[in-house]
Amino acid sequence: MRSCVRSGFWIIQPAPGVAPDQEQVEEHAQGVAENADLAVSVEIPLDGDLDDLVAMMGAVVVGFSLSQTSWDKGHVFVDFLIENRSKAVKNGFFITTRMVGMIIFALVSFNLVRKGISFYGSGETSMTLRVPMFPVVIALAFCFFVQCFSFITDIFRIFDTGETT
């Protein structure tokens, strides 16, 4: 039986065809617990623990910046198809795309709320740190819902000032 340390955790690699017995599994669990206690006591994170937090916080940052970026027109515009069209055609195109975007973001928001409720009911957590995932999913649903209001204000802005870009 070989064992090695990888990413701060003990990994038991039995010889081919040999299954670990109960005593070896208990030793493995004790080694993981001791390693985790040591890492916490000296305040050194175990490798891989931060992946969950980085992924969740990245989703939250992108989600909350979405509507602000849309409001500031900080996204990339590809308007070569309507560049030489009349103002009425441009306004119609922008209103149509905002309405389609509103429908898509409303559907995504609705499904994220359903997924968050499902995660809450099942107790879904991240794999390493066991952080509940439903608050992040619900926060993203809120962000997409706010994006729908950003699209609505874009439509009002087009009617009010005729500004499309």
pLDDT band at 12 (very low <50, low <70, confident <90, very high): very low
Note the pLDDT of residue 82.
Answer: 83
Our CA angle for 55, 108, 134, nearest 5°, is: 45
110-123 tens-digit pLDDT: 999 999 999 999 99
| CB neighbour list of residue 9: distance below 8 Å, 6 or more residues apart | 32, 35, 46
- In this structure, the answer to whether residues 37 and 107 fall within a common structural domain is no
- In this structure, the answer to whether residues 15 and 89 fall within a common structural domain is no
- Predicted model pTM: 0.65
- In this structure, the answer to whether residues 95 and 130 fall within a common structural domain is yes
| Residue predicted with more confidence, 5 or 101 | 101
Structurally, the chain folds into a number of domains equal to: 2
| CB neighbour list of residue 143: distance below 8 Å, 6 or more residues apart | 63, 64, 66, 67
Note the pLDDT of residue 18.
Answer: 55
Range of the domain at 28: 2-41
- In this structure, the answer to whether residues 76 and 151 fall within a common structural domain is yes
- In this structure, the answer to whether residues 128 and 69 fall within a common structural domain is yes
Q: Helix or strand or coil: residue 9?
A: strand
